[in-house]
Amino acid sequence: MNKKTISVLLISGILVFLGWKIWRDWETVIDFKWNFSLFDLTLFLIFLPLPFIFNVVAWHLVTRSQGEKISFSKNFEAWMFSNFARYLPGGIWQYPSRILLLSKEGVSKESCIKCLVLEALFVVFVGLLIVFFVLISGGLNLSFIGAGFIIKQQVLFIFLTLLFLAFFFLLVKSQRLMSFTSQLFSSLTGKGQNVKNIQISPVWVLLLIFAYFLVFLFPGVILFLLAKGAVAITLNLLYIFVSVYTASWLLGYVAFFAPAGIGVREAALAGFLSVYMPFSVAAVVVIALRVALIASEAIGFGLAVLLSKRRP
């Protein structure tokens, strides 16, 4: 049995399970007291396009940090077009397609690979940092131990954040890691340059950490608004929803058998939301989230097509 067959079977199994739970408990879904408000729906529509906008902004900043003077509109096209390629089996075609698109703008393959390596490192680093923050700062509901323990938590988080930053710089400067990672990306795009290290200033690192924090923040806000329409939850849970979305995104990111994390992310999110609502209702919410994000992405793809056609 080849990898493609295994991938299809695993994704189908997860999606069939979610669909079966919704079908089996359909009466629960129908009879559930949904309480969407006009205010929540308005916020939902406002925040919906922001995840992809900030993804493009973050990617644009990555290319700038490597000295590439690509216009924002061209980076928008490259990111949007390549992003659709992640739905292809294997989940990695967005990388060679982005390199191909940027090479047409005069960007060297070596520089493209450096940018892709940085993007991968930042999304994983910032994603883990967000999840870790919730665990340390009260996501486990440990605040009952006392204010002194909360302060210790905050000090520990600051210390470990600085430690992670130092480790991140070591990763970027590691010739062995850069060589291995660049070979991985080169294997996706044919013969290429071997990247030994990446030069990036601390200012760019801090700016990109903030940019990728926003990349994870807005989908978490959208998830929170959808969940708030299903069950009464308070605003103080928002940071937990952002963390859970981030964790599910990371699971989907490393699950190479699932293009764009389809199925993996939904199963993880539905499992978390089942703490607040029936699992079948949670499955409807996370599927609605996926559909909404795909619809927003499709609009962005359409804008990229229009931009490319307007070019001489």
- The per-residue pLDDT of the chain, averaged, comes to 77
Q: Cα–Cα distance between 77 and 59 in angstroms, integer?
A: 11
pLDDT at residue 143 greater than cutoff 50: no
pLDDT tens digits for 14-61? 667 677 677 777 776 777 777 777 888 888 888 888 988 999 999 999
| Percent over 70 (pLDDT), the chain | 69
pLDDT at residue 131 greater than cutoff 80: yes
Confidence of residue 197 (pLDDT cuts 50, 70, 90): low
pLDDT at residue 192 greater than cutoff 60: no
pLDDT value at residue 98:
86
Model's pTM, two decimal places?
A: 0.80
H-helix segments, 137-201: 147-173, 175-189
Q: Which residues contact 284 (CB under 8 A, 6 or more apart)?
A: 22, 29
Q: Cα–Cα distance between 120 and 59 in angstroms, integer?
A: 11
Q: Cα–Cα distance between 8 and 290 in angstroms, integer?
A: 18
pLDDT value at residue 215:
93
Q: Cα–Cα distance between 133 and 265 in angstroms, integer?
A: 20
pLDDT value at residue 147:
44
Signed CA dihedral, 149, 232, 240, 222: sign only: negative
Q: Which residue's structure tokens are 């440990």?
A: 142
Cα angle 66, 71, 74; round to 5: 105
pLDDT value at residue 97:
83
**Residue 164, φ and ψ in degrees, nearest 5:** -65, -40
Nearest in space to 45 (alpha carbons), one of 242, 277, 226, 301: 226
Q: State mean pLDDT over 276-301.
A: 84
Write the DSSP string, 56-87: HHHHHHHHHHTT----HHHHHHHHHHHHHGGG
Q: State mean pLDDT over 115-131.
A: 87
Q: Cα–Cα distance between 162 and 122 in angstroms, integer?
A: 15
Write the DSSP string, 258-302: SGGGTTHHHHHHHHHHTTTS-HHHHHHHHHHHHHHHHHHHHHHHH
